[in-house]
Amino acid sequence: MARYVFITGGVVSSLGKGLASAALGALLQARGFSVRLRKLDPYLNVDPGTMSPFEHGEVFVTDDGAETDLDLGHYERFTGVAARNTDSVSSGRVYSSVLEKERRGDYLGKTIQVVPHVTNEIKDFLAVGDDEVDFMLCEIGGTVGDIEGLPFFEAIRQFAHGRPRGECIFMHLTLLPYLAASGELKTKPTQHSVKELQSIGIAPDVLVCRSEHPIPDREREKIALFCNVRKEAVVAAYDLKSIYEAPLAYREQGLDQAVLDAFGISPAPQPSMGKWRDVQDRTLNTDGEVKVAIVGKYIQLEDAYKSIKEALTHGGMANRVRVKVEWVDAEVFDSEDAAPYLEGYDAILVPGGFGERGTEGKIKAAQFARERKVPYLGICLGMQMAVIEAARNVAGLTAAGSEEFDHEAGKKRFEPVVYHLKEWVQGNAKVQRKTDDDKGGTMRLGAYDAVLTEGSKVAEIYGGTAIEERHRHRYEVDIKYRKQLEECGLQFSGMSPDGRLPEIVEWKDHPWFIGVQFHPELKSKPFLPHPLFADFVRAAVDNSRLV
């Protein structure tokens, strides 16, 4: 059975619980242990799939088609362990399951309550797969004291109480603010956060204290005394130049040792950190810089494109260059010339998105990249906009557009080069959808196979003709325009195995212009950059040398 580490946070949100959890997972792996990471979110949405990126950042998608919190992206990038549907749960999902059981009569007429029915549902979720790994790391979203988080805190308290002693520990992240006026770190917020945690029956075994300044021994001893933890279990978390320094930084501060000591695992295998030293070296010691424009419409919140930004960083590591990402609002040049906004970049990336807002700017970005021979990577909607641009400006279909935009406007305005995907094959089953279906969980989600054309650029990049990538979309490029577009030079170089759904397009006479219907950024890792991003950054380096 797995040992459980429950990671909670206090004082303020965004302290870095997800990063600390991911780094701890990487450190335990470095010692030879197997791990799985999970996220428990208190919000009432069933999943983040219907949330605006401005609300919750990007939606991370798993191979088995779950729409999850972006922290699962951190978990995968740091551990290489593919997340599953069972690694993300929200209050909405828990309550939905409980109410379905109540409607079926599973509770035999009992009054349904938060305790025990909701907490039992959470505990059942926690126990899934606990015989598969050595350590299960479970992060609780929000902060201690949040009213919506109380069922989760009560559930993990009960879960730990019901397991044999020594199988569960609690790790709590807090803030140590620095007051410049007095020139000292203040420990009271941490003390109050721990007191709040203790009031609901949970005593932390390890404290991770986020601080901008070194923690003197005196303050560390004070925290240990008043929070009832060992001094060695008070771990400092300092600001870093790169998140990929976190495993080495936490190793230096003794986080993994504090966790192993809390479990009584002694002696423990020594960690092998060579992989992370190489990642740190490639991050901090670069041979140059390239500028990449991300042309999107959620640019006010960088977390909306979190995996893309990280995948570009990984591509930079593969080429030993720093990728300077600059955010360009697609709406700014919806009705203007794109050139003044896009000149000077070594490459252009147009990411996914939903709705018509900003799409004319994205189409102009694709046109600029095609005509100026600037490396271009279009992802999901970014591929669709590249196809519409080709249809309008090269193939003569001047009214080309997407059925999505007509649905949004409530009237027909475009020749639908991109249409609503009504059916597709998933495994051995046919999936069907209608335009008026519920929005949540109804897209083409998760990992699907694709077949690449022999001799194409993407086949060269991938080093083969069979790939599997993750999808999240409900609109698709219409195959009936394939011949017309290919005659103009836009090659459909990747297709679904049944040949019905376009997966990749590329311009044959362009140095590097590729659009993909899937989301390659979701599978990129610092120690294993995705081949598309690695080659895209290489093309940006080549282009920068031509300028």
pLDDT tens digits, residue range 159-185?
Answer: 999 999 999 999 999 999 988 888 889
Instruction: Write out 402-418 in H/E/C secondary structure.
Output: EHHHHHHHCCCCCEEEE
Of 264, 279, 294, which closes a domain? Answer: 279
Task: Yes or no: say if 117 and 155 are a contact pair by the CB < 8 Å rule.
Answer: no
Grouping H, G, I as helix, E, B as strand and the rest as coil, residue 529 is coil
Among the listed residues 117, 172, 471, 519, the single catalytic one is 519
Answer yes or no: do 274 and 292 share one domain: no
Q: How far apart, in whole angstroms, are the C-alpha atoms of residue 444 and residue 470? A: 9
Grouping H, G, I as helix, E, B as strand and the rest as coil, residue 241 is coil
pLDDT in tens, 69-85: 899 999 999 999 999 99
pLDDT in tens, 351-370: 998 888 888 999 999 999 99
CATH number at residue 457: 3.40.50.880
Answer yes or no: do 335 and 244 share one domain: no
Task: Yes or no: say if 403 and 475 are a contact pair by the CB < 8 Å rule.
Answer: yes
Angle between helices 119-127 and 91-104 (to 10 degrees): 110
Answer yes or no: do 315 and 257 share one domain: no
Answer yes or no: do 96 and 63 share one domain: yes
Q: pTM above the 0.85 mark?
A: yes
Amino acid type, 102? E
pLDDT band for 423, please (50, 70, 90 cuts). low
Mean pLDDT across 378-388:
95
Share of the chain above pLDDT 70, in %: 94
Mean pLDDT across 104-110:
91
Is the confidence at residue 422, as pLDDT, over 80? no
Q: How far apart, in whole angstroms, are the C-alpha atoms of residue 482 and residue 492? A: 7
How many beta carbons lie within 10 A of that of residue 216, not counting itself?
A: 11
CATH number at residue 93: 3.40.50.300
Q: How far apart, in whole angstroms, are the C-alpha atoms of residue 454 and residue 459? A: 6
Answer yes or no: do 39 and 185 share one domain: yes
Residue with tokens 């990129």: 524
Q: How many domains does the chain have?
A: 2
Q: Take residue 333 and report the two structure tokens written for it.
A: 């040049």
Sheet with 206-211: list strands edge to edge: 88-90, 35-41, 135-140, 3-9, 168-175, 206-211, 234-238
Q: How many CA atoms lie within 13 A of 7 on its CB side?
A: 28
Is the confidence at residue 410, as pLDDT, over 80? no
Answer yes or no: do 372 and 473 share one domain: yes
How many beta carbons lie within 10 A of that of residue 185, not counting itself?
A: 22
Q: How far apart, in whole angstroms, are the C-alpha atoms of residue 310 and residue 315? A: 9
pLDDT (0 to 100) of residue 545: 76
Q: Take residue 252 and report the two structure tokens written for it.
A: 């230096």
Is the confidence at residue 547, as pLDDT, over 50? no
Among 245, 177, 181, residue whose Cα is nearest residue 212: 177
pLDDT in tens, 195-230: 999 999 999 999 999 999 899 999 999 999 999 999
Answer yes or no: do 314 and 171 share one domain: no
Is the confidence at residue 413, as pLDDT, over 80? no
519 is catalytic: yes
Buried b (16+ CB within 10 A) or exposed e, 151-179: bbbbbbbbbbeebeeebbbbbbbbbbbee
Which range (267-271, 453-457, 510-514) has the least confidence? 267-271
Amino acid type, 101? K
pLDDT band for 260, please (50, 70, 90 cuts). very high
Task: Yes or no: say if 302 and 294 are a contact pair by the CB < 8 Å rule.
Answer: no
Domain limits at 398?
286-546
Answer yes or no: do 168 and 84 share one domain: yes
Q: Average pLDDT, whole number, for the chain?
A: 91
Among the listed residues 67, 389, 404, 521, the single catalytic one is 521
| C-alpha torsion 260→265→270→274, nearest 10 | -40
pLDDT (0 to 100) of residue 191: 95
Which range (11-25, 42-56, 375-389, 531-545) has the least confidence? 42-56
Task: Yes or no: say if 324 and 539 are a contact pair by the CB < 8 Å rule.
Answer: no
380 is catalytic: yes
Q: How many CA atoms lie within 13 A of 442 on its CB side?
A: 14
Among 521, 80, 36, residue whose Cα is nearest residue 276: 80
Q: What are phi and psi of 289, to 5 degrees?
A: -145, 145
Q: Take residue 296 and report the two structure tokens written for it.
A: 């999107």
Answer yes or no: do 239 and 300 share one domain: no
Among the listed residues 67, 380, 506, 530, the single catalytic one is 380
Buried b (16+ CB within 10 A) or exposed e, 447-462: bbebbbbeebbbbebb
User: What radius of gyration, in Å, describes the C-alpha atoms of the chain?
Assistant: 25
pLDDT (0 to 100) of residue 180: 84
Angle between helices 119-127 and 150-162 (to 10 degrees): 60
- Classify residue 486 by burial, with Cβ atoms within 10 Å: 0-12, 13-18, 19+: middle
pLDDT in tens, 296-335: 988 777 788 999 999 999 999 999 999 999 999 999 988 8
pLDDT (0 to 100) of residue 546: 58
Answer yes or no: do 308 and 263 share one domain: no
Answer yes or no: do 207 and 356 share one domain: no
Mean pLDDT across 402-421:
75
pLDDT (0 to 100) of residue 394: 94
pLDDT band for 25, please (50, 70, 90 cuts). very high
Q: How many CA atoms lie within 13 A of 93 on its CB side?
A: 23
Whether the CA torsion 83, 96, 21, 524 is positive or negative: it is positive
The C-alpha angle with vertex 248 and arms to 59 and 519, in degrees rounded to 5, equals: 20
Chain CA centroid to CA 336, Å? 33
Answer yes or no: do 342 and 491 share one domain: yes
Of 249, 279, 309, which closes a domain? Answer: 279
Q: How far apart, in whole angstroms, are the C-alpha atoms of residue 4 and residue 35? A: 10
pLDDT (0 to 100) of residue 364: 95
Mean pLDDT across 400-427:
73
Is the confidence at residue 104, as pLDDT, over 50? yes
Task: Yes or no: say if 63 and 163 are a contact pair by the CB < 8 Å rule.
Answer: no
Question: In what helix (H) or strand (E) does residue 319 lie, and over which residues does it extend?
Answer: helix 306-319
Task: Yes or no: say if 382 and 359 are a contact pair by the CB < 8 Å rule.
Answer: no
Task: Yes or no: say if 22 and 7 are a contact pair by the CB < 8 Å rule.
Answer: no
Length of the chain as a residue count: 547
Instruction: Write out 3-60 in H/E/C secondary structure.
Output: EEEEEEECCCCCCCHHHHHHHHHHHHHHCCCCEEEEEEECCCCCCHHHCCHHHHCCCE
Of 216, 246, 279, which closes a domain? Answer: 279
pLDDT in tens, 436-449: 555 565 778 999 99
356 is catalytic: no
